Each structure stands twice: as structure tokens, then as C-alpha cells.
Structure 1
Amino acid sequence: MANAVTIQDINMAYETISHYVHTTPVFTNLTLDHLVGRKVFFKAENFQKTGSFKARGALNAVLALKSKNPYVKGVVTHSSGNHGEALAWASKIAQVECIVVVTKDTPKTKCQAIKGYGAELVFCQSPSDRKKTCDHISNEKNFPYVPTADHYDIIAGQGTIAVEFLKQVPELDAILVPVSGGGMASGIAIAAKAIKPNIKVFLIEPEGKMCELCLQTGTRLWSDPPKFLHTIADGLRLQPIGKLTWPIILDFVEKEVFSVTDEDIIKAMKFVFERLKLVIEPTSAIGVAAVMSERLAAMDTKMKNIGVILSGGNVDTDHLPWC
């Protein structure tokens, strides 16, 4: 994968990781279907290994790294939690060490899970400090850095979600995907468009990320250090889309973007808890919020079958966002 990711890369990733990851179920809800006037299919990656879709990309990346360099001793990353858990789990499978840099306000449940998979935790003050700390450890230990999204093997691994989803629900007209760095969004877009060229892939963002402006102008927003958003969706706080994921997203996803508020996320999260009886985290609820939005209601009524990624279920039950 020198310059891009193809459907062949994603299919290869699927073969590589399928013995270790779950084929996650798809759920529907008649109440929501009647409410939005369309059929909605929820791909429940909250049931994935480590509790989120991140397991797919992390495992593909670590196994690819181990294949290229059998003598690699360990890996390092920084994470809001889910990628850290996933990389710790993947590293255990690959039998390499793992160090994860997190901020001091990372949910306790995610920190405990990272340590539970055998990784070492390193704490820093703020999201903007994570990369600097990570780089220092990488140089000191000679451990490759495995980013949460901006990595071709990560993208290919996350693209396996679409391969699986379209086998389960081939009639999908659109897939709605949460976006932070863009690993899942770019991987799903590549796979979905290769399998079903007329399908639409939409981004969902927390308010303030400005993806729609970026897509319509063809300009990627960037700052150094990267800007982080104030949102309860802790997995989506990164402002810029990744350098590698951006051109893929620009080519393959729709220019209309669903932007949701914290209030929308809380409403959606409660709906899923109460009606679908599923545990999801705020980052995961963003897709449900998009489905329930006025923007979807105003879209083409021929778009009848909507796929939504429930990206993770690692919620901190001691700090629910409505308590």
C-alpha cells in the first residue's frame, strides 16, 4: 500500500483479521423506522472485540507490521481510549509490547481495559500533549507509532466493516459514518463504493468540526498543534481529518455532512438505551442522532435503507452524560 488503499487491500485485511474479530450483528427498530420514514440498520460494532470498531484496524496494522518486521519488540500510540484498548489487544495477539498515551481525564473504564490487555499506560495533561509524549516514547524505545486513523493498514482494517455490512444488508442505499481522523470513514467509503458504486456514504461530525466546508471547498483544515473540540463524544474531539484519509474522503463521500450537538447525542443515546436495549458510548450515538435529524428527513425519499455504524460501547457508567 504505497499510496492508497484498494478493495483488494480491504479484502486481504478481512482474511487476515476474520479469525480474531467478531462478525458484528445488525439491529433494526420499528419505532425509529416509523419516526424517520425509512428503514434503518444499525451495525453494532459496540459488540466488537474491545468494545469498538477500532479492533479491526489495530489488529490489521499490528499483524502487517509483524509480518514486515518479525523482530519488532513493541508499538506505541496515543488515544482517547478505544484505539488504545484495540492496540493493546492486538499487540497481545501479535506478542509485542504496547504503550498507550492517554490524557488524565480519559474514562477510568477505558484505562482499566487498556491495562487489562497488558499494555503500559502513560498519562499526559491534555490532548495536544499526547502526540509529543508518544513521539518521545517512540524514539526512546524504538517502538513504531501506530496512529488511530491516519495509516493505510488501519484504513484497510476499518474498511472490513463495509464488506461485512453489505453482505448482511445488500439493499443499503446509504451508510452514515462518524468521523474523527477519518480511518473508518475512508475505509468504509472505499469498500462500499467498490462493492456498490451507487451507494452514498455520509460523514457525521460533532458540531464545530466543519467537514462540510472542507468537502465543498476541497480544503483540509489543519493546525499545529491540532485543534480539539469540546464535545461529549470523546472519540471525535480531533478537529482535522488525517493527511492520508483526507483525499480518500474527498473523493468518495458525499459533500453533505450531518453535524450534531451534544444535546442531540444525549437524546440519541437515551433512545438506544431505552428502545434498542443496547449500551453505546456518546461517540457511537452520533449516528443515531444523524438519523433522527431534520437533515435526513429533507433528503431524497428514494434513499430508503440507511446503514448506521454504532462505533463503540465503552461508556463510563459512572459518568453518563445526562447525570
Structure 2
Amino acid sequence: MSGRLTITVNDILKAKNRIHSCVHTTPVFTSSTFDESYGRKFYFKAENLQKTGSFKARGALNAVTLLKEGESPPKGVVTHSSGNHGQALAWAARMRGLQCAVVAPNNSPNVKLDAIREYGADIVICDPTPTSRQETCDRIGRERGFHFVPPYDHPDVIAGQGTLGAEFLEQIPELDAILVPTSGGGMVSGIAIAAKALKPDLKVFIVEPNGKDVEKCLRAGERLWPNPPRFLETIADGIRLQQLGHVTWPIIRELVQKDVFSVTDDEIMKGMRFAFERMKLVVEAASGAGIAAAMSERLRQMDAGLRHVGVILCGGNTDIDRLPWYPTPAHS
């Protein structure tokens, strides 16, 4: 499927109207300290303050609403998720009166699993591999008659995530670039479609954990990742999938910059700590990756014309008893 041909900015604007009454218009934060330290004007889009604690609420609610309003709405939905999409889908299903099951790997953070349960979904644990996640999800779908809503690789999910880009540009129209932490690519695809339609000169950059190798694939113009798909070793559990999706890949290849920001766990922790200590914002490690990219020497060396840079704080679902800079859980 060619994602670029099936999703347009009109789909995103329709999604924005469809979900706006149920999701937050999240605030944008600035830090003069950060700007002075890193030499540009930065704008931090706080999706950590979104419903369910991440941007995923946007895509999940758009997809579930369209299912519910369809000719033959299912009795439930199912997905696989390490946490944020699972929470978002469970919340969206409850909002629209559908059942929900979430297939989660056995190493998912407890704080995210607890939240999924609190939103009313059933959790089915699987092995921590992309193949096991999908096979378990397919089985649950067959057994219960639930409709599969992918975490990222679906036009309705991508359109919902794209509302983030449209909203960000309404708030900060002078943006020259946006840094987007990326796993399967649903958020960066949606943002890129919105941004390129509304402001064609705006540059969208992927932020990844080391080992994802998106830049190599973008420069070659083809998928170079080994199969089967695998997860990367990183503290940023929200962006640990190595491969981009098959629907998101052609969109990203066409619309996203080939320069990619790869960050280490130490850099991610530094970004997280800045958000906690100086901005007073609770963010998860994937958000810390975006801040790390804003701090990077690579950005400092880029075109000085990129004066106004957006950073997506994609989520805030972190276990405060297991913050990554502590070797063991905190005890009172």
C-alpha cells in the first residue's frame, strides 16, 4: 500500500474536526535557558499532557470513531503495544463503547500496563518480538471477532497523528523545522503530510535511538533493515522498533529529511533530566530523545536559517520509581 497516495492533508483536517472535542490542544513550552545554550529558538509541544499521556490518543480515537460510525462496526478492537498505543486504544474504545484487547510484550513497563487495565481493556502477554506480537494479535482478533487497529501502519491512525502537526503550526506558524521521535513512523508521517501541505518549506526530521539506521535507508531509497523485525536495546521503550512501517515508509521517504538524529541512552537521559529539572515536565524516554536531538552538535552545525525548531514531547508515561538515571527503584 502506498501511504502517500491514501492519506492527504484533508484527511488530517477532517480527523482534527472529528476528535477535537475529546482530545487536548496541548500547550507549547519554551525555555530561554535552552535557547541560549543551544543557539536557536525551540518550541516544545507537550503531548505528554495529552489524553492517556501521549500523542497516540489522536490516532486511536480517529480510527475507532471511523470504525464505530461505519456500516458494520465491530464489537471490539485489538492491537499490540508496549504501552502508549495500548492505553490510547483502550481509552478510545471506552469512549466509543467498544471492547478492547491489547497484546503486550512481557517486558512492557508496569506503569503502562496498569493504565491499560484502568481504561478497561484486557491484556494478553506475549513474547517481546514483533512477530510474536502480531501473531498473538491475529489470534485474538479471530477468536473474539475484534478489529485490528495497528499502532502506526494505518491511514486512519496516521491521519489522527497528523492533527498534531496541523495544531503545532496553528500555534507556532513561524516553525522552520520539527524534530520527531520515531518508532514505526505513524506520527512523523502524519506530521510530515500536514507540514508539507500547510508550510512546504518546513523541514521534518526523524529522531531515533542508535541502531535504527533510518538515514542509511533514506539515502539508499529502500528498506535495508534485516528480517524478521526486531527491537533495539534502548531505554526509550516507545521508539525501540527498528523498522519503519510499510504504509509509513513511502511517506517518510518522500517527505522527511534524509538527515536523521541518532541518540544514545546517555543523551536521552540528559534530555529527560532537562525536562524534569528545568521545565518541570514529566516526560518519558522517547520524549527525552527529541530533546537530545535539539541539544546535539549535528543540529548546531545545520543551516542557521532553521531558527525556529519544534520538538515533539511525545509522551509522559514513565515509571517514576524506575527513572533511568537510578540503578534500582527508589525507596522511601
Matches within 5 A, 1:112-131: 112-128=114-130, 129-131=132-134
Alpha-carbon distance, 1:259 to partner: 0.3
CA contact (8 A) 2:218 2:253 kept: yes
CA distance in structure 2 between the partners assigned to 1:120 and 1:127 by the alignment: 20
Out of 286, 291, 294, the residue aligned to residue 289 of structure 2 is 286
Out of 206, 218, 223, the residue aligned to residue 220 of structure 1 is 223
Q: Which runs of 5+ in 1 are unaligned?
A: none
Matched with 2:53 is 51
Matched with 1:196 is 199
Matched with 2:254 is 251
Identity %: 59
* Amino acid aligned to 1:313: G
CA contact (8 A) 1:221 1:240 kept: no
CA distance in structure 1 between the partners assigned to 2:128 and 2:48 by the alignment: 26
CA distance in structure 1 between the partners assigned to 2:224 and 2:10 by the alignment: 30
Matches within 5 A, 1:21-40: 21-40=23-42
* Amino acid aligned to 1:273: F
Alpha-carbon distance, 1:225 to partner: 3.0
CA distance in structure 2 between the partners assigned to 1:64 and 1:226 by the alignment: 29
Alpha-carbon distance, 1:190 to partner: 0.3
Alpha-carbon distance, 1:51 to partner: 0.2
Alpha-carbon distance, 1:223 to partner: 4.4
Alpha-carbon distance, 1:127 to partner: 2.8
Matched with 1:94 is 96
Aligned length: 323
Matched with 2:140 is 137
* Amino acid aligned to 2:180: V
RMSD: 1.2
Matched with 1:63 is 65
Secondary structure, counterpart of 2:278 in structure 1: helix
CA contact (8 A) 1:186 1:248 kept: yes
Matches within 5 A, 1:167-206: 167-206=170-209
Out of 296, 317, 322, the residue aligned to residue 319 of structure 1 is 322
Matched with 1:305 is 308
* Amino acid aligned to 1:242: G
Q: Pick which of 13-22 and 65-74 moved more.
A: 65-74
Alpha-carbon distance, 1:224 to partner: 4.2
CA distance in structure 1 between the partners assigned to 2:92 and 2:313 by the alignment: 21
Secondary structure, counterpart of 2:104 in structure 1: strand
Alpha-carbon distance, 1:105 to partner: 1.8
Distance verdict in 2 for CA 1:153–1:162, change over 3 Å = same
Secondary structure, counterpart of 1:302 in structure 2: coil
Structure 1 stretches of at least 4 aligned residues deviating more than 2 Å after TM superposition: 221-225
Alpha-carbon distance, 1:2 to partner: 10
TM-score (norm 2): 0.95
Q: Any idea what the Cα deviations from partners look like across 1:193-224, whole Å, max 9, x if unmatched?
A: 10001100000000000000011000123444
TM-score (norm 1): 0.98
CA contact (8 A) 1:17 1:59 kept: yes
Distance verdict in 2 for CA 1:177–1:105, change over 3 Å = same
Report whether the alignment pairs 1:159 with 2:142: no
Secondary structure, counterpart of 2:79 in structure 1: strand
Q: Pick which of 223-232 and 177-186 moved more.
A: 223-232
Matched with 1:77 is 79
Alpha-carbon distance, 1:70 to partner: 4.4
Alpha-carbon distance, 1:226 to partner: 1.1
Q: Pick which of 249-258 and 215-224 moved more.
A: 215-224
Alpha-carbon distance, 1:69 to partner: 3.8
CA contact (8 A) 2:45 2:311 kept: yes
Matched with 2:329 is none
Q: Which runs of 5+ in 2 are unaligned?
A: 327-332
CA distance in structure 2 between the partners assigned to 1:89 and 1:62 by the alignment: 10
Matched with 1:229 is 232
Out of 147, 152, 156, the residue aligned to residue 149 of structure 1 is 152
Alpha-carbon distance, 1:71 to partner: 3.5
CA contact (8 A) 2:60 2:85 kept: yes
CA distance in structure 1 between the partners assigned to 2:313 and 2:237 by the alignment: 15
